[in-house]
Amino acid sequence: MKNILVTGGAGYIGSHTCVELINAGYNPIIVDNFSNSEKFIVDRIEEITGQKIQLIEGDCVDERLLLSKLKDIKLEGCIHFAAYKAVGESAQQPLKYYQNNIGSLVSILSLLEKMKCPNIVFSSSCTVYGQPDQLPVVESTAMKPAESPYGRTKQICENLLEDYYNSGKGVKALALRYFNPIGAHPSALIGELPLGVPNNLVPFITQTAAGLREKLTVFGNDYDTPDGTCIRDYIHVVDLAKAHVASIDYLLSQNKSLLDHVNIGTGNGNSVLEVIESFESVNGVKLNYEIGSRRDGDVEKVYADASYAQNLLNWNTELSLKDALKDAWKWQVSLK
Ligand code: UD1
């Protein structure tokens, strides 16, 4: 079986990707320091797939640790998820974000070079576009200054990959620009585990519906959109996970050095109110919410043109917004 190093493999997108890698016949090796994830998730991946997972507990900024743990292993590829991702915190603690998010990519690239493994999939984000001038967003859409230090670390990591690619070391790299991942595995054994108060919409919705939060605040209804609330491209995390498997398949099929950037979204935009209504109707649950003021740094609308991913990776989304909201709720209920 082909070994794929998955940094942050116990995290939200990482765990779902490990399941899909195993389903596709790959052997994921997880590196995680559990700074924003839980060990039991690794057991759950094993439970879903019936496969034992090799786990390296540690920080992927620590290249020496990884080298020592991986010295007898032939690596075919790496999916590098591990990073901090809280927008608000990144403004308070920028050094933490620069050190970890950029430091870990440096260390992973250096590790892969020593291990003679050229294939890397990097977790980027549609945040690199800022508020784009053009919708849907294509990969060549001009980037705007990042709205947060978090967003800037993603832009810098993409620049770093470009410099590394240009150095002629033979890397084969895909930077996947995720739109808004939501939902959970249909087994309800793995899902998103936000630390403290969730920043993201769907975990806030499910925690409110479960009675853990009193009410959801919709951040503004005076935007220039049909119902006044912001529009995003919400993608089921299982579809997103499968895009990573397709990316690894693609990299392994290529024999020349490459660097490419790929939007991973559904191509549809939905407003905050549409998500709320959809959640209520698919789950038969009433949500307590109110309209509040805008949140700093929010973009009005952003959704992907997903055709490049479809053509390059031979991948397409299979699940709907309703599927994602049903699975997110099933996961929330299972946590009680
Ligand atoms: C956020 C980050 C983005 C990051 C992504 C990772 C910000 C500004 N952006 O994206 O950089 O890549 O998460 O998942 O934080 N909303 C509410 N009430 C809430 C929470 C959210 O109305 O309690 C609205 C937001 O205003 C937004 C939508 O829901 O319109 C989605 O918000 P969120 O889930 O935080 O995602 P993004 O802001 O798109």
DSSP 8-state symbol, 234:
E
Structure tokens of 228? 């006044």
Nearest CA to ligand 1 atom 19: 201
Q: Is 150 a catalytic residue?
A: yes
What pLDDT score was predicted for residue 48? 98
- Which ligand 1 atom sits nearest the alpha carbon of residue 178? 12
Among 118, 22, 115, which residue's Cα sits nearest to residue 70? 115
Nearest CA to ligand 1 atom 35: 200
Tokens 């919410």 correspond to: 289
Tell me the residue ranges of DSSP E strands in 179-253.
180-182, 216-219, 231-232, 234-236
Structure tokens of 77? 């590829």
**307: three-class secondary structure by DSSP:** helix
**Alpha-carbon separation of residue 290 from 65, 214, 215 (angstroms):** 48, 11, 7
Structure tokens of 254? 């290529």
Nearest CA to ligand 1 atom 5: 180
**Cβ(1)–Cβ(25) below 8 Å:** yes
What pLDDT score was predicted for residue 185? 98
- CA 271 – ligand 1 centroid, Å: 11
Among 39, 152, 32, which residue's Cα sits nearest to residue 101? 152
| Binding pocket residue ranges, ligand 1, CB within 6 Å | 85, 87, 125, 127, 151, 180, 199-201, 204, 216-219, 230, 232, 272, 295, 297-298
What stretch of H or E contains 97? helix 94-97
Structure tokens of 260? 């490419």
**Cβ(313)–Cβ(247) below 8 Å:** yes
What pLDDT score was predicted for residue 336? 81
CA distance 132 to 143: 7
What pLDDT score was predicted for residue 266? 98
Mutate to test the pocket of ligand 1, among 272, 279, 301 (most ligand atoms within 8 A of CB): 272
SS (H, E, C) 78-141: EEECCCCCCHHHHHHCHHHHHHHHHHHHHHHHHHHHHCCCCEEEEEEEHHHHCCCCCCCECCCC
What pLDDT score was predicted for residue 195? 87
- CA 201 – ligand 1 centroid, Å: 6
Mutate to test the pocket of ligand 1, among 122, 180, 205, 240 (most ligand atoms within 8 A of CB): 180
Among the residues of 24-77, which ranges form H helices?
40-49, 63-70
Grouped pLDDT means (10 residues each) for the chain, 336 residues: 98 98 98 96 98 97 97 97 94 97 98 98 96 94 92 97 98 98 98 93 98 98 98 98 98 98 98 98 98 94 97 98 98 94
CA distance 300 to 103: 31
Mutate to test the pocket of ligand 1, among 87, 158, 294, 300 (most ligand atoms within 8 A of CB): 87
- Which ligand 1 atom sits nearest the alpha carbon of residue 232? 39
What contacts 125, CB < 8 A, 6 or more positions away? 151, 154, 177, 178
What pLDDT score was predicted for residue 332? 98
* pTM given for the model: 0.97
Q: Which of 12, 97, 150, 164 is catalytic?
A: 150
